[in-house]
Structure 1
Amino acid sequence: MRACFPLLFLLLCGPAAAEQWISCGKLFDAKSAKLLGPHQILIREGRIAEMRSGQPMTTGNDQSLDLTDKTCLPGLIDMHVHLDHESNPNRYSEGFRLNQEDFAFRAVSYAERTLLAGFTSVRDLGGRITLSLRDSIDDGQLPGPRIIAAGKSIATTGGHADPINGVSRDMLHAFGYPGPEDGVIAGPIEARRAVRQRYKEGSDVIKITATGGVLSFAKSADNPQFMQDEIDAIVATARDYGYKVAAHAHGAEGMKRAVLAGVDSIEHGTYMNAEVMRLMKQRGTWYVPTLLAGDFVSEKSRQDGYYPDIVRPKAARVGAQIAKTFTQAYQAGVKIAFGTDAGVFPHGQNAREFELMVKAGMPADLALQSATRNAAELLGKWDELGSLEVGKQADLIAVSGDPLADITLLQRVEVVIKAGQRYK
C-alpha cells in the first residue's frame, strides 16, 4: 500500500484517473447498515458512475483496482475535529511562543493523517486557519479531507473559546479585549454581528460554546454561558445565511437553551439529562458524542503537568461521565452522528471512537452508519456523501476482514480514495 505525503503528493499520486473500476469483496451499505456481497464500482471524473453486484468482470482498464479480498466502505466522516492544533503538555504556552504560520504548517500534517486514517470528510469546529487549509485542499494543493469549517467559535465574554481566558491584566493591555469580530459576544446584537462576521470570513457552519469547557482556563466545564436571547439571535441569524449551528455543551441547562433555540447538534453532551434527550428527540437535534476525547482527557488528568491544575479536575469528571451519557442517549433513541474532537487527542486516531461506541453499547453496524449516512445527513450533504451510490462523490475506503465483527479494523484502513483519487 502507498501513502502520499505533502511534498511528494503530485509525484506519487498524480492526477485522478478519468475512469476506473473497483472490485470489492464485500460492501457496507450505509443506507441499510448491512454488509453486502461482491460489488464492482465504476468511478468516472471523481464520482460513482455505475455499480454492479456479483463477481468481478474483466474491464481491460489498467486503472482498475482489485479489492476482492477486502471490505469496501464509504469514506468516513468525522463531525467534530480541530485541525488547527493537537494536544501536548506545552499547548497552553504555545499561543505566546508560536506564530500562526507555525500552527498552519502543523495543520497540513494533521489533515494528511486524518485522510490516510480513512476520514475523507470532516467538520472542523473552531480555528481560523482551517478556512485557508480547506481552500488549499479543495484547490488540490494539499492532501487532506474535505473540510466543512466553522472558523472562529462564538463564545461569551470569559466563556469557553474566549481566547484571553487566563491572561494576566498586564497582558490584556497588549492583547486587547475581543469582540464579535473575534467571536466573543455579550448580548443579542453582538451575537448577530458574530454570525455575520463568520459569513464574511467564509465559514461553512456556525459553532457556539453553549457551556463551559473542559480544557479552557476556567473553573466550570458545564455552566450555561449564553442567555436564551443570545442563542436565539445566533440561530435566527444563522438561518438567514443558510448556516447549520453546532453547540458545544456539557451541562444540561446550556444544552436545553441551545436545543430550544433550534441548534442542529449538541457536541459532547456530557451531563445530558432525560429532559434534554426528550427535547432533542422532539426537535430532531443530533448528538455528537466525542467519546475518545473524554477518554483521552480522563487519562491525561492523572498525569502530573499535562494539564494546568484548574483543568485537571474537570477533565477527570467529564472523562468518567461521557461514555455513560452516550449509553443512555443511544438507548433513549437520540439521533447520533459520529464525532471525535480530534486535536484534543492526536490526529489520525479518529477511528478509535468506533471501539468506544461499541463498548458503550451501540452495535457496530449503527456505529458505522453514524460516520456515514448520519453524518452526511447532519451536514446536509446526503445527496453527495455518506454512501457508495451512483452519482455521489467517489469516497471509498477498504479494510481486510469484516468490520461488523471486529470494529477495530477501522483503525487499520488499507485503501483511501477521495473523489476518485487514490491516496493510500
Structure 2
Amino acid sequence: MLQNKKVQLLFFIALVFSIKLTQAQTLLVPDRVFDGMEMHENWVIYVVDNQIEYAGEASKFRVPNEAAKIDLKGMTLMPGLIEGHSHLLLHPYNETEWNDQVLKESPVERAIRGSVAAKASLLAGITSMRDLGAEGAGYTDVYLKKTIDDGIIPGPRLKVAGPAIVATGAYGPKGFHDGVTVPLGAEPVSGIDDAIKAVRRQLGNGASFIKVYADYRWGKGEPSNPTFLQEELNVMVATAKSAGRYVVAHASTPEGMRRAILAGVETIEHGDGGTLEVFKLMKEKGVAFCPTITAGHAIERYKGWRPNINPDPERITKKKKSIQLALEAGVDIIFGGDVGVFAHGENYRELELMVEYGISPIAALQAATLVNAQLLHFENLGQLKKGFLADIIAVKGNPIKDITKMREIEFVMKDGIIL
C-alpha cells in the first residue's frame, strides 16, 4: 500500500515537472522597449505562458534553453494599446448615418459587424478596450464580450456599458410623431426611482460600468443642454458604487460636466465646452478626461472639411481649446477616439491628433497604455513588467520620435498568444 502511494506521488511530481517544461516560453528581442512609462534601449521581454517573467536589460538576463527567441529588429516593443472610447456596434457615419444604423440594422447584423470590428481592432494593436454603449442594440455588446472571453471570436479584452442611460426625451432617433414607437440609442429614465432601477438593471444584465448622458440636444439643431438633475446623477453614481462599479458621463457643456463631476463620475467623455474652472474641478475631484478628438475630426471631414487647407470649423477650434485647458489644469487625459464614428482599426488617428493638439508623444503613448490601464480598471495590463499579463505589440521605428509609426503594427500578442 505504501509502495503504491510512493509510486503515485512520484508520478504526480513527474507530471507537474513535465507540465512546467512544456510551458510556452518566448524571448522577444526588439531594438527598444517602451514599458508604458519610458523608452529603453537594449532591453528584452521574456514571456512564460500568458505572463511577463522578465522585462529589463538583455545583459542581465540568462536565456533559458527552452525559450523561443523572436527577433524584432528595427522595432519598438510596447504594451498592447488600451482603447478608452469605442463603439464596436457602430461603423463610420459616411457609410451609414447613425439614425439608420439604429433604425434599420438589426442587432444580429450589428453583432456580426461588431465581431469584424473586434478583430480589426486587435490586429491594430488594441488588446483591451472600453466600449461606451451599444447604441440601440440592447445588450449585444455584453454578448460580444462573452464570445471574445470564451474564445469564440478574436478581439480585445472588453469592458462594456450596455445600453447606456439618457434622460427621457433627450436622445434619438427623433423626428417621428407620438404614435410611432422608435427604438432609442440608449435607455431613457426620469426621476430618482427610475434612475436607480435602470442602473441596477443594466449592471444585472452584464454592463461592466454605467454610462450616462449628462447633456444632449433636446431638439434638432439646438445646442446641448444638461439633461439630468443633480439628484438624479448623484443617485446613479451612488447605486453603481454600492455594486462595486462606476459611472462615466457623456458631457460637453460646462454645466453638464460640472453636475457629472460633482456626482462622482470617473471620466468625462468629449468635454468640448469645458472651461478652465470646470477642468480645475475635474483635477480636484480626480476625474479624467477622454477628449475623443478623432470623432469630431472625422465628422467634419465627412461634411467636406479639408484639414490644413480649410479654416478650422468651430467644433475643431473648441476641441483644441478644451485640450489646452485640460493640460493647463493638469487633468489626466485618456486615449479614446470614439472609434466606430470612424473605421475600427484606425485607432492610431487619435494618437496622431493628440500630438497635433499639444500632447507630447510620450504622454500620448502613456495614455494609451499605463494611464488607461490604471484609470479604466484594466488590472495587470498597460506595462511591460514582471507579473503583468503578456499583452504586447511591436511597431516599426520609434513612435516617440514619429507618432505616425503607430500605424505600422508588426506584432501582436494577447494573453501570451501571438496573433
Tell me the TM-score normalized by structure 2.
Answer: 0.87
Give the counterpart of 1:98 among 101, 105, 108.
Answer: 105
Instruction: Tell me what 2:3 maps to.
Output: none
Task: Name the % identity.
Answer: 36
Instruction: Tell me what 1:34 maps to.
Output: 38
Q: Is 2:152 aligned against 1:141?
A: yes
1:285-300 alignment, distance < 5 Å: 285-300=287-302
Aligned-partner Cα distance in 1 for 2:66–2:103: 55
Q: Is 2:183 aligned against 1:186?
A: no
Q: Is 2:113 aligned against 1:113?
A: no
Give the counterpart of 2:25 among 14, 19, 23.
Answer: 19
Q: Cα offset for 1:230? A: 0.6
Q: Cα offset for 1:334? A: 1.1
Aligned-partner Cα distance in 1 for 2:225–2:56: 53
Give the counterpart of 1:413 among 405, 409, 412.
Answer: 409
- SS of 1:348's equivalent in the other structure is coil
Q: Is 2:390 aligned against 1:388?
A: no
Aligned-partner Cα distance in 2 for 1:17–1:291: 42
The answer (yes or no) to whether the contact 1:17–1:63 under 8 Å persists in 2 is no
Aligned-partner Cα distance in 2 for 1:385–1:249: 28
Instruction: Tell me what 1:266 maps to.
Output: 268
Aligned-partner Cα distance in 2 for 1:340–1:195: 25
Q: Cα offset for 1:297? A: 1.2
Aligned-partner Cα distance in 2 for 1:298–1:164: 21
Instruction: Tell me what 1:203 maps to.
Output: 207
CA RMSD, 1 decimal = 2.2
Aligned-partner Cα distance in 2 for 1:265–1:221: 22
Give the counterpart of 1:241 among 240, 243, 260.
Answer: 243
Query: What per-residue deviation string (whole Å, max 9, x for no partner) do you get for residues 300-346 of structure 1?
Result: 2348xxxxxxxxxxx95434421221122113211111111001111
Instruction: Tell me what 1:373 maps to.
Output: 370
Query: What per-residue deviation string (whole Å, max 9, x for no partner) do you get for residues 86-120 of structure 1?
Result: 12343322333332111110111111111111111
Instruction: Tell me what 2:83 maps to.
Output: 78
Instruction: Tell me what 2:13 maps to.
Output: none
1:44-83 alignment, distance < 5 Å: 44-54=48-58, 59-61=64-66, 63-83=68-88
Q: Cα offset for 1:163? A: 4.8
Aligned-partner Cα distance in 1 for 2:177–2:64: 67
The answer (yes or no) to whether the contact 1:38–1:68 under 8 Å persists in 2 is no
Amino acid at match of 1:367: A
Structure 2 CA distance for partners of 1:82 and 1:35, relative to 1, 3 Å = same
Instruction: Tell me what 1:328 maps to.
Output: 325
Tell me the TM-score normalized by structure 1.
Answer: 0.86
5+ residue gaps, structure 2: 1-21, 306-311
Amino acid at match of 2:105: L
Query: What per-residue deviation string (whole Å, max 9, x for no partner) do you get for residues 117-139 of structure 1?
Result: 11110000101211111111111
Aligned-partner Cα distance in 2 for 1:196–1:394: 34
The answer (yes or no) to whether the contact 1:291–1:353 under 8 Å persists in 2 is yes
The answer (yes or no) to whether the contact 1:280–1:334 under 8 Å persists in 2 is yes
The answer (yes or no) to whether the contact 1:78–1:371 under 8 Å persists in 2 is yes
Instruction: Tell me what 1:311 maps to.
Output: none
Greater CA radius of gyration, 1 or 2?
2
Moved more, 96-105 or 348-357: 96-105
Amino acid at match of 2:175: G
Aligned-partner Cα distance in 1 for 2:27–2:281: 46
Q: Cα offset for 1:164? A: 4.6
The answer (yes or no) to whether the contact 2:33–2:44 under 8 Å persists in 1 is no
Structure 2 CA distance for partners of 1:321 and 1:43, relative to 1, 3 Å = same
Q: Cα offset for 1:258? A: 0.2
Amino acid at match of 2:191: G
Instruction: Tell me what 1:212 maps to.
Output: 216
- SS of 1:263's equivalent in the other structure is coil
